Amino acid sequence: MLSHIERPTLPVPSWRQVWSDFGPAYAANGFIGWVFSATAPVAIILSVGTRGGLSEAELASWIFGVFFINGLITILFCWLYRQPLAFFWTIPGTVLVGPALSHLSFAEVVGAFYTTGVLMLVLGATGWVKRAMQAVPMPIVMGMVAGVFLRFGVDLVHSLHDDIAIAGPMVAIWLVLSALPRLGRRLPPLLGALLIGAAAIVALGRFNISDLGAIELARPVMHMPAWSLPALIELVVPLAITVLVVQNGQGIAVLKSAGHVPPVDAITVACGVGAIASAVVGSVSTCLTGPTNAIITSSGTQTRHYTAGIFTGTLAVAFGLLAPAFTRLMLHAPKAFIMTLAGLAMLKILQAAFVESFRDRFSLGALVAFLVTVADLGVLNIGAAFWGLLAGFAVSWLLEREDMA
């Protein structure tokens, strides 16, 4: 059953060879890739988790899992395959968890994390993943994703209205750095927003350094799963789709465009193993990241890109070990800071979701999926994201038969 999983095509490099291939350009790309993951995407976790009633310890454990465990997988795969294979966590999947926490216990959500990991492991081990990815109409999926993400864009607008002193400078610097690509390459827009926001908080006296407390190593919270049919129905299929189709599909496309040949089945197996390991500490499922891999392949020699991935993974492991201090720091920041950072991180993803949903085929099904998801009305204790997908597929099957061909 495992014979089809791609084997490394090049000899595994010695650590002396890795050091020889490493250099300042790869260190810079690896560092920026890590910074991207450690800023706005973390704000999304904190936004979702705090809305769902998770404690500071549970949030710190979640952040530990998505960095430490996925950092180890990143180091291993970059080293084995000599490719920039950076793994982190599914952002759309994280957002999906938010509405689920309003009517499911976290133990039930963790049970869905475990089941998603097993499903991905089976798909990768059997080689069915490529057929599964091809069978899912992407516009309908992205219609659902757009419906889930819309709240972050609305929260961004609310932040500007409610706390312009914090949100205003953050949005302004993001616009400037996005409008000036040459400057934006030196200081990524999201990093600029974070730095300006932090400076505004300090200047306004809105943060007390004593709230940070002592720097301590992570103490992961082990979670016992609870198995409930509503949680499995609501979360497992949407989570697996966001990993395999949305996130991994994007990451694989990025790597192919950079001249690499990513091992699709091996990546899926890694996501399954990572998802199961992450679920132990209450973390959302592992995925092959698109944006971070785009950053670490943005310059340099193709055959040396893997060293930037190893550096990103190393930084992620270190960051995961220090998760409690960073979690505490972010949680004591003004609410507008987190909401603005998360909203800015989601803007282009939300734009891409709308473009993919309504560009061509399955547009009516995508619209129905979007509307049902935005309505956020659960049925049978199952959240709207699942019903959005189901409704979108049903409408396209009935009214867009030509697109099914």
pLDDT tens for each residue of 266-282 = 999 999 999 999 999 99
Reference 71, options 310, 269, 262, 268; nearest CA is 310
Give the C-alpha separation, 282 to 274, whole Å.
Answer: 12
Query: Mean of the per-residue pLDDT values for the chain?
Result: 85
Q: What is the DSSP letter of 180?
A: -
**Which tops the pLDDT comparison, 129 or 212?**
129
* Domain range for 53: 15-350
Is 230 part of a structural domain of the chain?
yes
Is 119 part of a structural domain of the chain?
yes
Is 157 part of a structural domain of the chain?
yes
Is 313 part of a structural domain of the chain?
yes
Work out the end-to-end distance of the chain between its first and last CA atoms, rounded to an integer number of angstroms.
31
Give the C-alpha separation, 151 to 172, whole Å.
Answer: 21
Give the C-alpha separation, 354 to 153, whole Å.
Answer: 13
Residue 380 has pLDDT above 90, yes or no: no
pTM for the predicted model, two decimal places = 0.76
Q: What percent of the chain stands above pLDDT 70?
A: 94
pLDDT digits (tens, 9 = 90+) for 228-266: 998 898 899 888 888 887 788 778 877 887 788 889 889
Residue 346 has pLDDT above 90, yes or no: no
pLDDT band at 212 (very low <50, low <70, confident <90, very high): low
Give the C-alpha separation, 48 to 46, whole Å.
Answer: 6
Is 125 part of a structural domain of the chain?
yes
Is 140 part of a structural domain of the chain?
yes
Residue 1 has pLDDT above 80, yes or no: no
Residue 378 has pLDDT above 70, yes or no: no
Residue 19 has pLDDT above 80, yes or no: yes
Does residue 256 contact residue 262 with C-beta atoms inside 8 Å?
yes
pLDDT band at 36 (very low <50, low <70, confident <90, very high): confident
Please state the rounded mean pLDDT for residues 81-91.
92
pLDDT digits (tens, 9 = 90+) for 281-293: 999 999 998 778 8
Question: What pLDDT is recorded for position 390?
Answer: 83
- Counting the structural domains of the chain, the total is 1
